[in-house]
């Protein structure tokens, strides 16, 4: 496209600057890419997967149970990814690796237990109620995930968005279930 009165180099600079600003705006408001650094979400997400996270949904509603969210973990000063197990007001309990939400045993097709050993500190949890503006999260790889069982609730203000798409590696390309 030719702009009268502007040199070609200036047109290129203007186009690149506009594209850069648009990309920043999209990342800031709508969409962000993340890297999966550990196996805590196996078998749903694998170590080294690259995913896209939508920031848009949570402008209009709260995270819901079973959604996979990315959030800022202040203690480690980095982003974490886990599955929402409990929303505000939910009663969460774990007995011998079996999860109960509001006194109902959960059928969790995504949850895996790769360690046959029973460890009370990991596999049992006294009942607790999720406070207002907080979420209880767990990794799908329950025996090898540090999550709300160990460090408590995620604050609503720390939630970045919902993970929805794996874009790398190409062999795993597709929607996150």
Residue 157 gets which letter from DSSP? Answer: G
Spacing of C-alpha 75 from chain mean position: 17
| Given 40, 55, 145, 148, the catalytic residue | 40
Calculated CA dihedral for residues 157, 71, 145, 109, nearest 10 degrees: 90
Sequence-ordered strand ranges (E) for the chain: 31-35, 50-54, 68-73, 78-86, 91-95, 98-101, 104-105, 125-129, 134-138, 154-155, 159-168, 174-175
40 has catalytic annotation: yes
Cα–Cα distance between 81 and 70 in angstroms, integer?
4
Spacing of C-alpha 53 from chain mean position: 8
| Given 18, 78, 82, 156, the catalytic residue | 82
Query: Which residues are catalytic, by number?
Result: 40, 82
């Amino acid at each position: 496209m030719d702009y009268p009165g502007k040199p070609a180099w200036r047109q290129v600079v203007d186009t690149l600057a506009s594209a850069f600003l648009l990309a920043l705006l999209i990342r800031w408001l709508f969409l962000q890419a993340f890297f999966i650094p550990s196996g805590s979400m196996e078998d749903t997400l694998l170590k080294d997967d690259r995913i896209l996270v939508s920031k848009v949904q949570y402008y209009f509603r709260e995270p819901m149970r079973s959604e996979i969210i990315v959030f800022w973990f202040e203690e480690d000063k980095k982003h974490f990814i886990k599955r929402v197990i409990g929303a505000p007001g939910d009663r969460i309990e774990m007995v011998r690796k079996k999860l109960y939400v509001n006194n109902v045993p959960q059928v969790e097709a995504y949850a895996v237990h790769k360690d046959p050993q029973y460890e009370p500190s990991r596999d049992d949890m006294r009942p607790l109620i999720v406070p207002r503006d907080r979420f209880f999260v767990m990794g799908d790889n329950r025996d090898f995930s540090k999550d709300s069982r160990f460090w408590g609730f995620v604050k609503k203000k720390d939630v970045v968005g919902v993970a929805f798409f794996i874009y790398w590696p190409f062999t795993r390309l597709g929607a996150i279930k």
